[in-house]
Amino acid sequence: MIDIDYQVLNQTAAELRGIVIETSCKAGVPHLGSCLSCIDILTALYWGTLDDMPSRIGRPDRDRFILSKGHAAPALFQVLARKGMFPLDMLDNLARYGENGTLFGEHPPAHGIPGVEAATGSLGHGLPIGIGMKLASRMRGYNNRVFVLMSDGECNEGSVWEAAMMAGAQKLERLVVVIDFNKWQATGRSEEVLALSPLADKWRAFGWSACEEDGHDIKALSERFCTVPDGSGKPIAIIAHTVKGKGVSFMEDDNNWHYRVPTQDEVISARRELGLI
């Protein structure tokens, strides 16, 4: 397991939240609540789990990460820059974020950004892509891991469960799904839109090893990720219980921040709460 100072990682997560909030304001990019709910998961993966990605980016046996909930791309871009996948100053021109001609859109693109493994955002596609990657790797004799981060609302998609059956049947033990279970989706509470509970049991019924974790406990998440494979011989589903808008009191558990963009005054208030000013 990677030797990590988790106090430093908690500060890293706070800084990521601050810059993602600032980016949303400057560029008019929505989905802020969805970005904030998964930042601790991304931090645990990229600083506490994955191998040295910049030096292995061209290797076919590298670990892979797919952001299936592509609307959280602003968080992923900041993480990749800080991990050295591309220069941080590439993100400086935030006013052009999402415009024609820029690499950095509201969802991950297919090409041009090192570390982005797949174009995502049409929900339900990331897991099938991850299964294809893992099957190809296994055929070639590679023991790499594939992590797919999904949203709870994404579990409404039938393609997710078709893919889940496939992965279970193929016993893809080095495939991991992490579900950012923040209890909201675009139009309401996830449980009210389409009953998900008991979510872990559903994955088990499809042939997966499943567990539940605090999605904001970076240490616990890192330790869980580092147990892959877990000895079960099955793919792994981690239900990460999170709070939409995590880290800022006036954004937490408020679904208005699915589409709202903060004002400059709200950015200052949020950064103050995060201990950044």
Which domains are present in the chain? Answer: 6-273 (3.40.50.970)
Q: What is the pLDDT of residue 94?
A: 52
Which pLDDT tens digit goes with each residue over 89-115?
888 755 567 677 788 888 999 888 999
**Mean of the per-residue pLDDT values of the chain:** 93
| Per-residue confidence band for 264, with pLDDT thresholds at 50, 70 and 90 | very high
Check whether 47 has a pLDDT greater than 70: yes
Check whether 153 has a pLDDT greater than 70: yes
Rounded Cα–Cα distance for residues 149 and 155 (Å): 11
Which pLDDT tens digit goes with each residue over 156-204?
999 999 999 999 999 999 999 999 999 999 889 999 998 899 999 999 9
Check whether 238 has a pLDDT greater than 80: yes
Residues facing 184 on adjacent strands = 189
Which pLDDT tens digit goes with each residue over 15-33?
999 999 999 999 888 999 9
Q: What is the pLDDT of residue 3?
A: 76
> Would you call 147 helix, strand, or coil by DSSP?
strand
Q: What is the pLDDT of residue 74?
A: 94
Q: Is the peptide bond before 87 cis (omega within 30 degrees of 0)?
A: no
Q: What is the pLDDT of residue 96?
A: 61
Q: What is the pLDDT of residue 247?
A: 98
Nearest alpha-carbon partner for 108 in 135, 141, 78, 82: 78
CB 168 within 8 A of CB 234: yes
Q: What is the pLDDT of residue 56?
A: 83
Q: What is the pLDDT of residue 81?
A: 93
Q: What is the pLDDT of residue 93?
A: 59
Q: Count how many Cα atoms sit within 13 Å of the Cα of residue 48 in the half-sphere of its side chain.
A: 26
